[in-house]
Structure 1
Amino acid sequence: MKKFLLVVTVFLFSLSFSQNNKGKLFIIGGGSRPDFLVDRMVKEAGLNPGDAVAIFPQASSEQDSSFYYAKQQFEKRNLKAVNYAFKKGEKLPSSKLDSLKKAKLIYVGGGDQVIFMDIINTYPEVKNILQESYEKGNMIAGTSAGAAIMSEVMITGNQLKYKDYENTFDNIESQNVETSSGMGFIKSAVIDQHFVVRSRYNRLLSLIIENPGYQGIGIDEGTAILVKNNNKAEVVGRAQVIVFKNPKNSKSSYTEKLGSRGITLDIYLNGDEFTF
């Protein structure tokens, strides 16, 4: 009996440890990054002066500029910014991959999330390092496009029914929100960015009506969510985070327009916490 209890105790401890051994996510909704937001990111990542930050600027059409502006903020805090820019077909030296494995903070810049995933998917060894780094307890951070890639279901920004790209959708319609696969650090929610500034309510509402198993998390500019223990988030920043839920799995339609009942909306401010 004592042996059985010991085995159960060890199992429960190992299970608890494995569930809480994942790292942290720092997901920024885009725009400028206030100092206190960056300071919190650095602190939560456990960085000390001289430590390296791995920066991925691939989502940007101007990778040099994307790296430069991120570099400025990290070097201001006596950190070493390392550029992990690469293009399809480029051979990555093993030394660079080895140094990436040691980074406590991996930061993905803004731009186009589809471009980032298209590149990263052609380098499975890099993608695996990012995922393993998170599993080992390190921080993965990102802004704008770098925020969108955090979820398993990733909003691309495109509409399936309309060819022209728009910052916001002017409709709540069925089968219109284009999604693809992101990095999958978040399984139970979908991230949207620049949320309040660009009025992106319609596309996130459309998504959770058609995919009620997910929550929709809209993060505004200059604002982030710090995610710990897989699904516990704290708001850090100067604006809001909007969370939509469709707890009743409600969906109706009429001439392709979507309807729903019982959708909930929560608006969180700096310091507020929520689970998803």
Structure 2
Amino acid sequence: MDIKGKLIIIGGAVDKGSFTETDFDKNVANNLNFFETGILRRIINESKHKSESRIEVITTASKIPREIGPEYVKALQYLGASNVDVLHIEKREMASDEDVLQRIKNADVLMFTGGDQLRLTSILGGTPLHEIILDKYTNEDFIYAGTSAGAAAASNNMIYQGSSSEALLKGEVKITSGLGLIDGVIIDTHFVQRGRIGRLFQAVVGNPKVLGIGLGEDTGLLIKNNKEMEAIGSGLVILVDGREIKDTNLTQVELGQPISINHLVTHVMSMNDTFDLNTYKMHIRDSQYAADLGPAVD
């Protein structure tokens, strides 16, 4: 099935500048160097009507929705987006409200903020709002953008808990169902800074068919047709491929004991690199071997 929507998943802490500063414009060069090649700019450019696209910022995952929502509105408006608003959905019953559902139907972009991904899925999962999102993503020129919790919740399988330091102890990583926009992957965020690679290792060794995606901060993936992935933002995307695992002790050790894994394949992507989820082939945009290989074929 061809997916008409686009998925933009972000590792968290998107550098959108500090819009609480009264002298923001004077410091724009220092605060907003990210905007030139940044993720929020890319969201606007990829959207159906560009700067005129209807963007709804969804704050459900956040514990401080009244603070974080306006920050994103200011950031997007600064980049030229002219039709942005915040939608606070704080209870499951609100995800069935007709006015809320109409706003979701009218949106070209839904921007899900960070917070607690379990809060996001427990409030929205299985509601009429959730069904509308899935339908729009499949059938319309629509963008689901999520940062941190909003990114982690986008896939069928979702990590919602697990200590970074003890992530390779059996049972430490907790996984549940996400919002189900994309299958065959599992996403972790704040990845490099919080040392979460062990969480992806455990998630992947338990089901090697699933590709682990670790998103660094101010880093994301643009995914088209649920298969074409492009790294965006300033940091790194780590991919964990378990299909070639040769051995593990996962089923032999008790809960809380260390896990061994033999031959786990990883890839590291940076801005403009691409990865095909069908072929599992990665293309490094600025490869040092590009001259030897000839021009890249897009």
TM over 0.5: yes
2:6 alignment counterpart: 24
2:60 alignment counterpart: 58
- How far the C-alpha of 1:84 sits from its partner, in A, is 1.7
Tell me how many residue pairs correspond in the alignment: 249
The answer to whether 1:267 aligns with 2:263 is no
Q: Secondary structure at the match of 1:134?
A: helix
The answer to whether 1:102 aligns with 2:106 is yes
State the distance in 1 between where 2:272 and 2:165 align: 30
Q: Which amino acid in 2 is paired with 1:207? A: A
Q: Deviation above 4 Å: which 4+ runs of structure 1?
A: 89-93
Q: Which amino acid in 2 is paired with 1:151? A: S
- How far the C-alpha of 1:258 sits from its partner, in A, is 1.4
Q: Which amino acid in 2 is paired with 1:30? A: G
The answer to whether 1:124 aligns with 2:120 is no
- Any residues of structure 2 matched to 1:186-201 within 5 Å, and which? 186-201=182-197
State the distance in 2 between where 1:40 and 1:227 align: 12
Q: Cα RMSD over matched residues?
A: 1.7
Q: Which amino acid in 2 is paired with 1:153? A: N
Contact 1:209 1:251 in 2 (8 A): no
The answer to whether 1:258 aligns with 2:259 is yes
Contact 2:10 2:147 in 1 (8 A): yes
Q: Which amino acid in 2 is paired with 1:100? A: I
1:81 alignment counterpart: 84
1:67 alignment counterpart: 69
Contact 2:11 2:217 in 1 (8 A): yes
- How far the C-alpha of 1:105 sits from its partner, in A, is 0.6
State the Cα deviation string for residues 192-245 of structure 1 (Å, max 9, x = none): 001111110111111111111101000100011000011110001111000011
Q: Please identify, of 100-109 and 46-55, the stretch whose mean Cα deviation from structure 2 is larger.
A: 46-55
The answer to whether 1:153 aligns with 2:153 is no
- How far the C-alpha of 1:171 sits from its partner, in A, is 4.1
1:181 alignment counterpart: 177
Select which of 217, 231, 235 maps to 1:235. 231
State the distance in 2 between where 1:262 and 1:48 align: 44
State the Cα deviation string for residues 109-150 of structure 1 (Å, max 9, x = none): 0000001111112x6111111111101231100000011001
State the distance in 2 between where 1:25 and 1:243 align: 17
- How far the C-alpha of 1:264 sits from its partner, in A, is 0.6
- List gaps (5 residues or longer) in structure 1: 1-18, 159-165
State the Cα deviation string for residues 2-49 of structure 1 (Å, max 9, x = none): xxxxxxxxxxxxxxxxx3343100000001233222111111112333
The answer to whether 1:44 aligns with 2:35 is no
Task: Give the TM-score taking structure 2 as reference length.
Answer: 0.79
Select which of 179, 203, 207 maps to 1:207. 203
Contact 2:92 2:127 in 1 (8 A): no
1:219 alignment counterpart: 215
Q: Secondary structure at the match of 2:8?
A: strand
1:3 alignment counterpart: none
Q: Which amino acid in 2 is paired with 1:222? A: D
- How far the C-alpha of 1:157 sits from its partner, in A, is 2.1
Q: Which amino acid in 2 is paired with 1:107? A: M
Distance 1:60 1:229, change over 3 A: same
Select which of 119, 124, 127 maps to 1:115. 119
Identity of aligned residues (%): 27
Distance 1:89 1:145, change over 3 A: closer
Q: Which amino acid in 2 is paired with 1:119? A: I
Q: Which amino acid in 1 is paired with 2:154? A: M
Q: Secondary structure at the match of 1:196?
A: coil
Select which of 140, 154, 158 maps to 2:144. 140
- How far the C-alpha of 1:83 sits from its partner, in A, is 1.9
- List gaps (5 residues or longer) in structure 2: 16-33, 278-298
